[in-house]
Homo-oligomer: A and B are copies of this chain.
Amino acid sequence: MEAIGRRRWVIAEGYIPETGTGPEPQMTSHETVCLLNASPEDAAVEITLYFADRAPAGPYRLTVPAERTRHVRFNELDDPERVPRGTDYASVIVSDRPLVAQHTRLDSRQAENALMTTIAYGE
């Protein structure tokens, strides 16, 4: 399929709760960005994180292969540094190929999980 999407995406909301309940790892509190690369070429992606009171972190580098999706948990990003817990952040995702980015949070701080999602802001 031909490429679909944009090359720059923003998720202004970001917060990884410090605690969770339920079976690991499905029910661990987590923030995810789902990336789809429908094009016939691999996409090189860089994620930069922004905070309220310190300099940005990153870039975190990853590849989304041609005609594949990657659901990236911010919880698992650790190079060049781990994403701090209990801290407000935002993210900018830049790709060398058109992608679509969607943001999801599963919050399991209380006994029953809560979910939220939105297509990211793309341009």
Contacts and interface: CB of A to CB of B under 8 A. Distances in A.
Indicate the size class of the contact surface on chain A.
35 or more
Contact of A69 (B12, B100, B105): B12
Contact of A107 (B103, B115, B118): B115
Copies in the complex: 4
B119 A116 contact: no
Identify the interface centre among A13, A92, A103, A116: most chain B CB within 10 Å of its CB.
A13
Given A38-B92, A112-B112, A103 B117 contact: yes
Given A110-B111, A111-B110, A112-B112, A68 B52 contact: yes
22 contacts: A4-B10, A4-B92, A12-B100, A12-B102, A13-B32, A13-B102, A13-B117, A26-B109, A34-B90, A36-B90, A38-B92, A50-B67, A52-B71, A55-B67, A69-B88, A102-B121, A104-B116, A110-B112, A110-B113, A111-B111, A114-B115, A116-B117
Interface of A: 1, 4-5, 8, 10-15, 22, 26-27, 32, 34-36, 38, 48, 50-53, 55-56, 67-71, 88-90, 92, 100-105, 107, 109-123
